[in-house]
A = this chain, B = another copy of it.
Amino acid sequence: MSIELYRDEHHACLMFTDLVEEDGQAVQANQFLIVDHGVGAVIDPGGNLAFNELYLGMSRFFAPQQLSYLLASHADPDIIASLDRWLTSTRAKLVISRLWARFAPHFAKVGKTEDRVVGVPDAGGILPLGQGVLHLLPAHFMHAEGNFHFYDPASRILFTGDLGASMTSGAEAARPVRALRDHIPRMEGFHRRYMVCNKILRLWVHMARKLDIAMLVPQHGAPIVGARAVADFLDWIETLECGVDLFDQRAYQLPTAQIDPAVNAVRAPLRAVQGG
């Protein structure tokens, strides 16, 4: 099922929240289609689990073989492990951080990425799309070392990849969050372990406050909607200690515990992403 985040006569943003079968093995993930004046881009198209459903699901709105871009916030499997199949099925170019431009081809078969990768420099940039543009904003270390968010000035939506992610089901991810406080417990554990450090969050917030954001839409879980909730999110993340802030010598000790492959096996259902 798709959710219309924005639509006017020439511009649309669609979100897909439930394409990955919820067997408890894989984390829920959102995928996005943006179309401007008949030119289309997919943001964070997802892994092999999502490919068929997204390809078919978006076909109702836009012919996937006409896609111009596959935008990847970074190179994790839930973001872009379907790359080989998208490169085969479309003529779209992968737009990704220069840091991952030579890693992403490992998703694909030999030669598939030839002239199909656009490497984004660390400063980001402005990408033409139809008669409009998308802004590629620096979001390095949130969590990936080379990482971008995507701001759509037509809809005033900021697509934030793992930032703002909440651990939930596809159905819950479809319900926008307008009051942040009750939502923080769904985000906190993930952000504390996967976001790299508070310094980076502060630098990013300082930049993000200059944008007019109607909706902050992560790649996992529910969109954060409205000026109040977005401002509260920026305030929350600005002071969050996370990642390396919380690690000391206790975390880097020669191991002594036995790993028993039977005991440590990950089985369904496992709902929360757990660190530690």
> What is A's interface to B at a CB cutoff of 8 Å?
20-21, 23, 25-27, 29, 46-50, 69, 75-78, 81, 84, 93, 95, 98-99, 101-111, 113-115, 117-128, 135-138, 140-141, 143, 145-146, 193-194, 196-197, 199-200, 203-204, 206-207, 210-211, 243-244, 247-249, 251-259, 261, 264-268, 270, 273-276
Contacts and interface: CB of A to CB of B under 8 A. Distances in A.
A146 to B, nearest CB: 7
A120 B261 CA distance: 9
A108 B243 CA distance: 28
16 contacts: A23-B114, A27-B106, A48-B109, A93-B265, A101-B266, A102-B270, A115-B267, A118-B266, A125-B259, A126-B258, A135-B255, A137-B255, A141-B196, A141-B243, A143-B145, A207-B252
Copies per complex of this chain:
2
Label chain A's interface by main secondary structure.
loop
Contacts of A135: 254-255
A134 to B, nearest CB: 9
A25 to B, nearest CB: 4
Contacts of A20: 106
A254 B211 contact: yes
A65 to B, nearest CB: 18
B95 A251 contact: no
A201 to B, nearest CB: 10
Which has the most chain B C-beta neighbours within 10 Å: A25, A49, A143?
A: A25
A118 B255 contact: no
A187 B2 CA distance: 45
Contact of A244 (B77, B197, B207): B197
B29 A106 contact: yes
A47 B203 contact: no
A259 B194 contact: no
A114 B252 contact: no
Given A49-B106, A200-B244, 12 more contacts: A23-B111, A23-B114, A26-B105, A48-B84, A75-B77, A77-B104, A78-B103, A81-B107, A113-B266, A125-B255, A125-B258, A138-B252
Given A47-B106, A99-B193, A251 B119 contact: no
A212 to B, nearest CB: 11
Contacts of A141: 196, 243-244, 247
